[in-house]
Structure 1
Amino acid sequence: MRNRTLADLDRVVALGGGHGLGRVMSALSSLGSRLTGIVTTTDNGGSTGRIRRSEGGIAWGDTRNCLNQLITEPSVASAMFEYRFAGSGELAGHNLGNLMLKALDNLSVRPLDAINLVRSLLKIDAALIPMSEQAADLVAHDHHGQAVHGEVEIDKLTHLPQALMLSPQVQATREGLDAIAQADLILIGPGSFLTSLMPLLLLDDLTQALRRSQANMVYIGNLGRELSVAAAGLTLQDKLTLLESKMGGKMIDAVIVSPTVDIGTIAGRIVIQQPLEADDIPYRHDRHLLRQALEQALVALAART
């Protein structure tokens, strides 16, 4: 890669779930329309899960979370989108943004149209694409070989599952595949490993697009401990191995991790290891520090080629 700064790049694609992907995209929001997020759509917890059980469709919570973090101009529209109902009635706990997206989904031809309508309403330039526009749930086979359905239950597993799959097996959104094909840089993470990052790589056409890509690929590690006991036991090398087993080869060129991560077994990759924590929420990435780390990774990758 000859490009040495983020400003030089024409297309950056970030893959992940709500909190982590949203933080990455807000850190890079100055890229505007050159930035695309591909977001996991298999969540079945909280307000999102209740909507899916009642109305069906893809999970909207991670998409809403990303959109919230990309809002740069507070307005009545943004306050509405972020509003969560209190009390003890039927609406209690529901996020209005989730309901708005689901309503637009019902009115629109495609979920992507719903997202784009909200992006326009909230004046968000970066693109956000659901990993699939077809509803699917995450399913695991636990260490006994028993099927476990849904992200919420999978995150409760104390042992790493024997297998992960989507049910049903769906197709990636074509705009997401196009974005990967055009990308100069692809980012994966941070996020819950089993339930935010791995679902994306269970889409066969998406992993094929990643294999065909000539872009450099950077993995961004979590700062906080995984909520999943099974995922918390994985080392950085374990995670890279599992990700690349789905991709079909060694494709991650660089990693960005905190100083507490063991990098002793990492070889043949650029490693950027430095403090990344936000002052207000230590388990979230500081946007400025994350952007700096990505710039350093680009310089190192350019020097290597």
Structure 2
Amino acid sequence: MFLTGMSKKERCDIAMPSTTIKRVVVFGGGTGLSNILRGLKRYPIDLTAIVTVADDGGSSGRLFDQYDIPPPGDIRQVMAALSDVEPLIEKMFQYRFEGSDDLKGHSLGNLMLTALTTITGDFARAVEQMGLVLNIKGKVLPAANQRITLHAELEDGSIITGESKIPLYGRKIRNVFISPEDVKPLPETAATIKKADLIVFGPGSLYTSILPTILVQDIRDAVLQSTAKKVYVGNLTTQRGETFRYTASEHVQALYDHAGEPFLDAVLVNNVEAFRRAYKSVGEETEPWLVENDLDKLQALVPEVFVQEIATVYNGTIMHKSADVADVLMRYIERT
């Protein structure tokens, strides 16, 4: 099925709904999730982001070692995307220090979340309070209120421990799993998922951002039990060390394999051919990285497949058009 873009009138109709506010839950982490949230926050919806806490690299890893808190990096990016404050405040929150060995590599937002965790004694409470400071649209919930360690079993049977280390080995990933296995999400997380009207997965690093959230047993159960429509927003490019040369259907199959059963109602993928025509100047070196749409296999896995021009190039980076993705998702939820 091909879904066309929205007209101005259709966007206005969604912006002024006459029915109850729709509840939307989005899973993932990092820049991909943040980009989509920037589009969704324009709409009058009840928006919740459930964010991975499996990061162990960079500033997040150092803060865990020193303060024994869940990694704040992905949480920080999502909160910045949902914030409704002066641009300078958001820029300050995202500011990354350089120079001194003690502060080099840390972002101010990570340090603020660490300080609030120390003050309140609880990471989730710190995220909640920071949300008030930043006046965010919606809620941000960490997938767990403690550190989760991510492990990957590679195709040769070897086990790699640590989110930041997994992409470095360059071998195909057979599956990922977490420890502790019995980690619990926040009490409100499962309830929020079960009440949702729409659940969105991705975009983002498949094995290290999206899958770690549904590897938490209670979250996975809540997703499978929820009557909400479930949509996967496909990645635009593959990722070396994780999904190099994966097709769109292989991304979906990995989601099903880790959830234990098929669960998606729809998938939104980029119109790759239209992207190639529009951005010839990007260069042939990007071609191996573009996710190809094997539509026959996708349609066998998912009831509805939407093909839309949702990609752009910004400063040499291929990224989702946040407004266009949000428009498609809002059209979908309004007709269901």
Give the TM-score taking structure 1 as reference length. 0.90
Q: CA shift at 1:60, angstroms? A: 0.6
Does 2:75 correspond to 1:40? no
Question: Within 5 Å, which residues of 2 pair with 1:141-180?
Answer: 141-169=153-181, 170-180=183-193
Equivalent in the alignment of 1:291: 326
Equivalent in the alignment of 2:25: 13
Q: Hey, what's the Cα distance between the residues in 2 that align with 1:271 and 1:296?
A: 14
Equivalent in the alignment of 1:120: 132
SS of aligned partner of 1:244: helix
SS of aligned partner of 1:69: helix
CA 1:137–1:297 in structure 2 vs 1: closer, same or farther (change >3 Å)?
same
Q: Hey, what's the Cα distance between the residues in 2 that align with 1:265 and 1:14?
A: 25
1:214 is matched by which residue type in structure 2?
T
Equivalent in the alignment of 1:213: 226
CA deviation string 1:236-271 (max 9, x = no partner): 212212212232322101111111231231225211
Q: Hey, what's the Cα distance between the residues in 2 that align with 1:69 and 1:56?
A: 26
Q: Hey, what's the Cα distance between the residues in 2 that align with 1:298 and 1:222?
A: 21
Q: CA shift at 1:77, angstroms? A: 4.3
CA 1:68–1:60 in structure 2 vs 1: closer, same or farther (change >3 Å)?
same
CA 1:31–1:288 in structure 2 vs 1: closer, same or farther (change >3 Å)?
closer
CA contact (8 A) 2:83 2:137 kept: no
Which piece of structure 1 moves more, 39-48 or 66-75?
Answer: 66-75
Q: CA shift at 1:32, angstroms? A: 5.7
CA 1:16–1:210 in structure 2 vs 1: closer, same or farther (change >3 Å)?
same
Q: CA shift at 1:79, angstroms? A: 4.1
**% of aligned pairs identical?**
30
Any unmatched runs of 5+ in structure 2?
Answer: 1-12, 273-291
CA deviation string 1:17-58 (max 9, x = no partner): 121221121111134660000000101111111111222221
CA contact (8 A) 1:141 1:161 kept: yes
CA contact (8 A) 1:210 1:247 kept: no
Equivalent in the alignment of 2:109: 97
Question: Within 5 Å, which residues of 2 pair with 1:1-305?
Answer: 7=17, 9-31=21-43, 34-74=46-86, 77-169=89-181, 170-226=183-239, 228-260=240-272, 261-262=292-293, 263-267=295-299, 268-280=302-314, 282-298=317-333, 302=336
Q: Hey, what's the Cα distance between the residues in 1 that align with 2:188 and 2:155?
A: 36
Which piece of structure 1 moves more, 212-221 or 119-128?
Answer: 119-128
CA contact (8 A) 1:58 1:136 kept: yes
Q: CA shift at 1:5, angstroms? A: 5.4
Q: Hey, what's the Cα distance between the residues in 1 that align with 2:245 and 2:264?
A: 21
CA deviation string 1:155-191 (max 9, x = no partner): 1232223331112221122222111011000000000
Aligned-residue CA RMSD in angstroms? Answer: 2.1
CA 1:274–1:134 in structure 2 vs 1: closer, same or farther (change >3 Å)?
same
CA 1:112–1:160 in structure 2 vs 1: closer, same or farther (change >3 Å)?
same
CA contact (8 A) 1:32 1:125 kept: no
Which piece of structure 1 moves more, 197-206 or 65-74?
Answer: 65-74
Kindly tell me the number of residue pairs found equivalent between the two proteins: 297
Q: Hey, what's the Cα distance between the residues in 2 that align with 1:296 and 1:157?
A: 41
Which piece of structure 1 moves more, 184-193 or 6-15?
Answer: 6-15
Q: Hey, what's the Cα distance between the residues in 2 that align with 1:61 and 1:212?
A: 30
Q: Hey, what's the Cα distance between the residues in 2 that align with 1:291 and 1:154?
A: 31
Give the TM-score taking structure 2 as reference length. 0.82
Moved over 6 A (4+): none
CA contact (8 A) 1:22 1:65 kept: yes
